[in-house]
Structure 1
Amino acid sequence: MASSIQIADHGGVRRIALNRPQVHNAFDDGLIAELTEALTLAGAESTVRAVVLTGEGASFSAGADLNWMRGMASASEAENREDSLRLATLMRTLQYLPKPTIARVNGAAYGGGVGLVACCDIAIGVDSARFGLTEVKLGLVPAVISPYVIHAIGLRQARRLFVTGELFDAATALQIGLLHRCVPADQLDNAVDAALALLAKAGPVAQAEAKQLALRMAGADAAQAEAIDRDNAALIARLRVSSEGQEGLSAFLAKRAAAWCATD
């Protein structure tokens, strides 16, 4: 079976690419497991100085895979909770990775894809990228990614985007802090290389400590993150099996308007 990710090393940089371009690098159980393992290994290897996370094809990540969502809709609350905990573990692994991380945002990022961008230390994206936290349109919430997105863009922006589910462009992502740089597609690699050159000049131990210092001072303590993830996984599991969540997922999969949508 083909791998859901591609890994390449060059000069102390580990490039991890989501490799499901046919579904816009959407998440399923396989991708989540492979990416979590790859990040854990990168964090433990002394030869890796930095990690670049990107997507193959036209998108960074479209969020949840359709078949994965079908499984969510028919799974029990307990099964949904375990499923959500696996995604939460991935996000937490990336957030607290003891190596500098760069999100090379080569295209659209939705839902969990936004979570991956928010968990990286540096985020550089193409100016044509689109973003969205669209879970409320399905009768759900961006539960397990919420701590990381809120830390990236702030509470005020998160409240708006969480409740509207609206799409936004790369310029807006830059303005609210989801992206650090926004560049034309033909300048993306140069911008990432420039960030890597800066990272290469710093001591790796100091970088790891500086990263944890920043997170700790911002209240994003690693010791508390697992408990928060458990609570958020329980929340999304409850919503997925609720009548509204079931209607939202069913409507999305059937490509129809949900029952709560206003009609003319």
Structure 2
Amino acid sequence: MLKYTKTEDVARITFDSPATSNAITFQIMTDYIAALQAAQESRARFLLIDANGADFTVGRDQKERVPNLTREQSLTLILKANAALRAFDGVSIALINGRALGFGSGIALHSTISIGADDAVLGFDEIDHGLAPLVVAAYAPYYIAPRIAQELVITGRPVPAEEARSIGLLSRVVPRAELAKAGLEAIDRLSGHLPSALRLLRRYHERQARYPEDAVLADAVRQLATWIEQGKP
């Protein structure tokens, strides 16, 4: 359901469960985190994240219940995945096609470059599933305007590609047929730059970033898990 490959300077993660619109199960999430860590350890210069099928991913599988896994442990996986993607000190490039909802929009935000197809639809739809996306509420204002971030998590509305680009969910938009080509062209262009310069820029960006501290994110997870366990009062 997830493929990881490494060829020369390029690591690649492909979500490969098109029959489920690449819904993120516990197994896919743990495999995704392991793949991100493998990409970092391999010293790949580039990481390409894409998906097979009509959709990038519709986000976490909201119906899945994993035995002996608490709600807080499950939510903490999101923090681990986001941290692992940000820790990749090469250039990560997400290629977003179709729906990229919830966790999928999170991947778009946490990647260095996010290229969307013109058919892409992003958004944080957790509220539609009866959830309050506190983790998104914590990190989204780092990437996009706080007022817009608040509106997106409260409404859960779908955001079409061009609007997603205009508010910062995507870096740019290309025709659907040119999405894969755009990813390869980005890598080809970046390959001409000094590798150490790109790594220095990435590390500088992460050191200077005002991304929420771990304690803030962990508190968001605890509050959300407690609220769910109490029956969502």
TM-score (norm: length of structure 2): 0.91
> Which residue does 2:188 correspond to in 1?
197
Count of equivalent residues? 233
Structure 1 residues 62-81: aligned runs within 5 Å:
62-68=58-64, 71=65, 79-81=70-72
Matched residue SS, 2:232? helix
> Which residue does 1:155 correspond to in 2?
146
Displacement of 1:160 after TM fit? 1.1
Q: Give the Cα–Cα distance (whole angstroms) in 2 for the partners of residues 26 and 86 of structure 1.
A: 15
Q: 1:145 to 1:40 in 2, by over 3 A?
A: farther
Q: Which runs of 5+ in 2 are unaligned?
A: none
Q: Give the Cα–Cα distance (whole angstroms) in 2 for the partners of residues 212 and 145 of structure 1.
A: 23
Task: Kindly indicate whether the alpha-carbon contact (under 8 Å) linking 1:88 and 1:145 is maintained by their aligned counterparts in 2.
Answer: no
Task: Kindly indicate whether the alpha-carbon contact (under 8 Å) linking 1:104 and 1:123 is maintained by their aligned counterparts in 2.
Answer: yes
Query: Which residue, out of 91, 115, 124, partners 2:115?
Result: 124
Matched residue SS, 1:109? strand
Q: For structure 1, which segment, 207-216 or 79-88, has the greater mean C-alpha deviation from structure 2 after superposition?
A: 207-216
Q: Give the Cα–Cα distance (whole angstroms) in 1 for the partners of residues 31 and 134 of structure 2.
A: 22
Q: Give the Cα–Cα distance (whole angstroms) in 2 for the partners of residues 115 and 174 of structure 1.
A: 14
Q: Give the Cα–Cα distance (whole angstroms) in 1 for the partners of residues 126 and 104 of structure 2.
A: 12
Deviations 1:192-220 (A, max 9, x none): 12211222122333322211222332312
> Which residue does 2:3 correspond to in 1?
6
Task: Kindly indicate whether the alpha-carbon contact (under 8 Å) linking 1:111 and 1:133 is maintained by their aligned counterparts in 2.
Answer: yes
Q: Give the alignment's Cα RMSD to 1 decimal.
A: 2.1
Deviation above 6 Å: which 4+ runs of structure 1?
Answer: none
Q: Give the Cα–Cα distance (whole angstroms) in 2 for the partners of residues 102 and 31 of structure 1.
A: 19
Is 2:223 the counterpart of 1:232? Answer: no
Query: Which residue, out of 51, 55, 78, partners 1:55?
Result: 51
Task: Kindly indicate whether the alpha-carbon contact (under 8 Å) linking 2:100 and 2:122 is maintained by their aligned counterparts in 1.
Answer: yes
Structure 1 residues 66-145: aligned runs within 5 Å:
66-68=62-64, 71=65, 79-145=70-136
Letter in 2 for 1:29: F
Percent identity of paired positions between Structure 1 and Structure 2: 27
Q: For structure 1, which segment, 136-145 or 48-57, has the greater mean C-alpha deviation from structure 2 after superposition?
A: 136-145
**Structure whose alpha-carbon radius of gyration is higher:** 1
Matched residue SS, 2:116? strand
Q: 1:41 to 1:184 in 2, by over 3 A?
A: same
Is 2:28 the counterpart of 1:37? Answer: no
Letter in 1 for 2:22: N
Task: Kindly indicate whether the alpha-carbon contact (under 8 Å) linking 1:126 and 1:183 is maintained by their aligned counterparts in 2.
Answer: yes
Deviations 1:175-200 (A, max 9, x none): 10111111111111221122112221
Task: Kindly indicate whether the alpha-carbon contact (under 8 Å) linking 2:72 and 2:222 is maintained by their aligned counterparts in 1.
Answer: yes
> Which residue does 1:181 correspond to in 2?
172
Letter in 1 for 2:219: D
Task: Kindly indicate whether the alpha-carbon contact (under 8 Å) linking 2:93 and 2:115 is maintained by their aligned counterparts in 1.
Answer: yes
